[in-house]
Structure formats: structure tokens, C-alpha cells
Amino acid sequence: MHRTKVRIVEDALDANNTIARANREDFDRAGVSVVNLMSAPGAGKTLLLERALAGLADEGVIVGVLEGDVAGSFDADRLSVLHIPVTQLNTDKGFGGECHLDANMVRTALAALPLDELDLLIIENIGNLVCPAEFLVGADASIMVCSVTEGEDKPLKYPLMFRACELVVVNKIDLLPHLEYDVDRLEANIAQVNPGAISMRVSARTGEGVDEFRQWLTTVVERATATA
């Protein structure tokens, strides 16, 4: 039984990669750069986006968001005040309550987004440190938010996620004075599983480091333009 299961998983990932490539081609045709944003539940992805995306138009970057959740549209509602295109994708309707977004789910939602008008699409994945890292969706960059309330051991316990990401936003640093937490130790653990990853210390609540993150988002758009 077990070998069959592994076979099914491999087939599913193959099919996923094929659809991810189709997404990638559509993004390229539309001239939109795509970031797959992942984290554990409650790490602060949405507040980070609320703060960082507000200033992106001033940088000349038109951004849209694809908001993934098992249920509800709480995050999409929060982002709608930014007056940017936001599309909600729920995995409990038609997708069996999946714990991650895959390429096909993203594909079904693309028609609802004005891709041709965007420079940057942020895909806010489901809060989960395991499966979202396994499913390519066709993004240019995979990044994650890691909150300092989660413990320094997370890169070692969820290595695939930290390996899949080129940028780790270390969030909630405003809480550091109230925690027994060593950011250097977290960053050493990140370097152990992914030596090439960039780490960026941020407080979405106070705004500390948010400018640097916004700047990083503009570089994703710039490098796509440079290679176009």
C-alpha cells in the first residue's frame, strides 16, 4: 500500500509541475512577476502585505494579490482597503480543504485577476510550513515569513520550507524584548539548511524593516524586466 501511495504523490507532483509551467508562461506573456508568500498560521503575512503594498504604487509597481485560505475571506477583506486587485481562493470549496495552494488551484483563479495590468502578483499561500513548499505554482520567487514567537528551531524542523525560499522575513521583532529568543540562532539555523537564503528582520506592526521588504519586492520586478 505504501509504495502505491508514494507513486500517487509523485504523479500528482508531476502533473502539478506541468500546470505550474503553464502558469509561468501566462505570467511571462502578461509581463507580471509573481511571488509565492508562505508561512505558518499567524506569522503576520497579511499585516506585512498591508504595510508593504501600500507604498508600492509610489515605486511605480502595480501589484495584485491572490489570497489563499481554507475558508473565509478575512485577509482579502483586510487588503481590499488598499484599492488593489485582490482575488480570494478558498480550498474548502471544490478542493477538499487542501492545506496548500497548488498550480491548478492558482490556475483556476487567474482569470479573475487583471494580469495584463499588473507588474507584480503576490500569492498569499495557506498558513502551513509543510506542503506549500512542495507544490510549485509558477512563481518567480518563493519567500516566507517566520515570526520570532515560533522558536528558533523551525528551519531544522521544517527544512523543506526554508530550503524552498530565497528570502525569510523574520517578523514581530517588536516582541523580542518580551521573549527569550535569539535571532542570530534562528539565522544560523536558516543558513544551515539554506546557505543562500536572505534574512530580513521586520516588524509589520511598528513598520521597522518594511521599507527594506518593499524594496526587495521591487527588485523581483526589476530582475524580471532585466531578463525579458
Could you say whether residue 2 binds a second copy (CB under 8 A)?
A: yes
Q: Would you count residue 3 as binding a second copy (CB under 8 A)?
A: no
Asked if 114 interacts with a second copy (CB under 8 A), we say no
Which residue, 33 or 90, is less far from a second copy as judged by CB?
90
Is 126 a binding residue for a second copy by CB under 8 A? The answer is yes
Q: Which residue from 29, 114, 117, 156 is in contact with a second copy, where contact means CB under 8 A?
A: 156
Q: CA–CA separation, 22 vs 171, rounded Å?
A: 33
How far apart CA 224 and CA 196 sit, in angstroms, is: 20
Question: How far, in whole angstroms, is CA 59 from its chain's centroid?
Answer: 21
> Is residue 40 near a second copy by the rule CB under 8 A?
yes
Smaller CB separation from a second copy, 30 or 193: 193
Cβ atoms of 172 and 138 within 8 Å: the answer is no
Q: In terms of C-beta density within 10 A (0-12 exposed, 13-18 middle, 19 or more buried), how is residue 73 classed? A: middle
Site for a second copy in 56-85 (CB under 8 A): 69-72, 74
> Which residue from 18, 59, 93, 97 is in contact with a second copy, where contact means CB under 8 A?
97
CA dist 81 and 63 (Å) reads 14
Compute, in degrees rounded to 10, the torsion defined by CA atoms 198, 201, 206, 211: -40
The contact set with a second copy (CB under 8 A) reads 1-2, 5-6, 8-9, 12, 15, 40-42, 69-72, 74, 94, 96-99, 126-131, 134, 147, 149-151, 153-154, 156-160, 172, 174-175, 178-180, 205
